[in-house]
Amino acid sequence: MVFSQPSFGLLDFEKEDDRMDYSSNVPGSFVRSFRLSENENNMKMGNVEFNYRRDFSEKSNLDLTVSHHAMDREEESLFTQQSEFADGSESSSYQFQHQDNKSRSWEIQLDYVTEFGQQNKVEAGYKGDLSRTESPVETVSGPTEESAVFDEDLYNFFRYNQDVHALYATYSKRINQFGFQTGLRGEYTRMDTKSLAYGETEDNVAPYEDDYLSLYPSAFISYTLPGNNELQLNYTRRVSRPRRGQLNPFMNVMDSTNITYGNPYLTPQYSNALELNYIKSWDNHMLSTSLYYRNTADVIQRINYLNADNIMMSTHANVAKTQSAGVEFIVKNSLFGFLDLTSTLNLYYNSISGFSYLPAGAQEPVTGEADDDFSWNGRIVANAALPYDITMQVTGNYNSRQIISQGYTKPNGSVDIGFRKSFLNRALHLTLNGRDIFETRRRVTVTSGAGFHQENMFRVSGRTIGLTLTYSFGNMNGDRNNDRQQPMMDDEEF
């Protein structure tokens, strides 16, 4: 069977205003300052997907999915800042920045499944993720809007390309109450980045390139007990790659008191996880309890330090190792015939190693002390089926105090709500999202180091309302994908 499913996300427009208030006792710096930011984003997205399935027998089939995603995002930002100094003098600044981000990606996935003998199953396949991104930035700066001119120091053209090719194979077998599965995934990753300042061209700037091969084994053992009870013992190895913003070495001096820049030499962080799970099922309820231990090497952490001019610098580096051990509870309930609840509670002990790191151009290494702490987080997702084919989703999150390199993050939480209405035999979807409806989604970090103590609050966007219209056509399998429980809102990442 062959079917294609193109879908197009239409226009997305966002506008947000922010204010940042500063106070400082650094010699020569301002005493008080406030900064106003006005941002407008216009985004166009499109996605085309092709699917092919071949059934060789009732127990053997081949699935191929090829999808192409395109995103164009135009962003305009206006920054004005007023500062007061100890001698009574004042200063002002004006900056207008324009960004035109373009992203193109292909995803290719080929999966083969066959069953044979007495409950033997083999799965094998390939997955390719090919992405290309360009993000030029242009800025005009000056004391006032009338005096602002093109700022060569704030021009940047960043190119980021990454190809990931993965091959995997798993073998699973069931013997009475026992189930076994072993697997191995091999990934070849090739990445290159190039950051161009004003006046530089593709010909006179060499890209930073990296390619590597990684292996990820996994093993799962399960035992079925009477009364819909099950025990599982799992081992997995995983990877988390640096984001493109963390790799761009361009120094962003839009905030003159906190200069941020990326690190093109970042490497992925790898983690190993061992879990013991107990699962109990009822007709409309499910309980999962997990005891786990995880360790992560080459952890990517934000590093802060003062330069020779007493200006705060911030970048990312692979500087630490972490270990965590804890227990996680997941409860799923179907209530009253129209409400589904998924509740998660995670309690864990976490430790982070000390480090010493010398940033490029710094006179002394940045150091951090080893630390450990007890933390917890919780999440509740409620999905409700309302009249007139309307579905509602409410998501609540809470994170307790958590340690990081050079400090900790304060507790934070948020609530999101979304509504979705389907039309034209569920081919057309209208989604209304409300993010951070109580305006509590913020990340407050407290860090300290040689000569500084800093408390920084970062908010993703505050309360926002979004309206999305999507249309899918050409799907010969009808609602195969629509029947899955899809989140209306993606999690924000700080």
In a domain, 305, yes or no: yes
Dist. CA 278–CA 282, nearest whole Å: 14
What integer best gives the mean pLDDT of the chain? 86
In a domain, 486, yes or no: no
Which residue do the tokens 């992203």 mark? 103
Structure tokens at 263: 């690190």
In a domain, 127, yes or no: yes
The confidence score (pLDDT) of residue 419 equals 94
In a domain, 12, yes or no: yes
Give me the half-sphere count of Cα atoms (radius 13 Å) on the Cβ side of residue 379: 11
Backbone φ/ψ region at 477: left (φ over 0), alpha (ψ -120 to 50), beta: alpha
480 CB neighbour count, 10 Å cutoff: 12
Structure tokens at 213: 């091969």
Is pLDDT at 477 greater than 80 in this prediction?
A: no
DSSP state of 390: E
The confidence score (pLDDT) of residue 32 equals 84
Which residue do the tokens 């979004």 mark? 466
Dist. CA 152–CA 197, nearest whole Å: 8
In a domain, 418, yes or no: yes
Show the domain range for 346. 2-472
3 state SS of 369: coil
CATH number of the domain to which 367 belongs: 2.40.170
In a domain, 478, yes or no: no
The amino acid present at 469, given as its one-letter code, is L
Task: Identify whether the C-beta of residue 475 lies closer than 8 Å to the C-beta of residue 50.
Answer: no
In a domain, 180, yes or no: yes
368: nearest Cα among 305, 310, 455, 458: 305
48: nearest Cα among 71, 70, 68: 68
99: nearest Cα among 71, 131, 139, 70: 139
Dist. CA 279–CA 257, nearest whole Å: 51
Structure tokens at 269: 């962080």
* CA distances to 138, 252, 346 from 152, in Å: 8, 12, 48
As a whole number, mean pLDDT of residues 299-328 equals 90
Provide the CA 482 distance to its chain's centre, in angstroms. Answer: 24
The confidence score (pLDDT) of residue 463 equals 78
Which of the residue ranges 19-28, 210-219, 347-356, 394-403 would you say has the lowest mean pLDDT?
19-28
Task: Identify whether the C-beta of residue 29 lies closer than 8 Å to the C-beta of residue 257.
Answer: yes
Q: What is the pLDDT of residues 37-76, one digit of tens each?
A: 788 888 888 889 999 999 999 899 999 999 999 999 898 8
pLDDT band at 125 (very low <50, low <70, confident <90, very high): very high
Give me the half-sphere count of Cα atoms (radius 13 Å) on the Cβ side of residue 62: 7
pLDDT band at 270 (very low <50, low <70, confident <90, very high): very high
The confidence score (pLDDT) of residue 396 equals 96
Which of the residue ranges 331-345, 389-403, 441-455 would you say has the lowest mean pLDDT?
441-455
pLDDT band at 109 (very low <50, low <70, confident <90, very high): very high
The confidence score (pLDDT) of residue 107 equals 97
Is pLDDT at 449 greater than 90 in this prediction?
A: no
Q: State the total domains in the chain.
A: 1
Is pLDDT at 494 greater than 90 in this prediction?
A: no
What is the reported pTM?
Answer: 0.78
β-partners of residue 384 are 339, 392
With pLDDT > 90 as the criterion, what percentage of the chain qualifies? 52
Q: Which residues, including other chains, have CB under 8 Å from residue 157's CB and lie 6 or more apart? A: 134, 135, 136, 137, 195, 196
In a domain, 492, yes or no: no
As a whole number, mean pLDDT of residues 291-309 equals 91
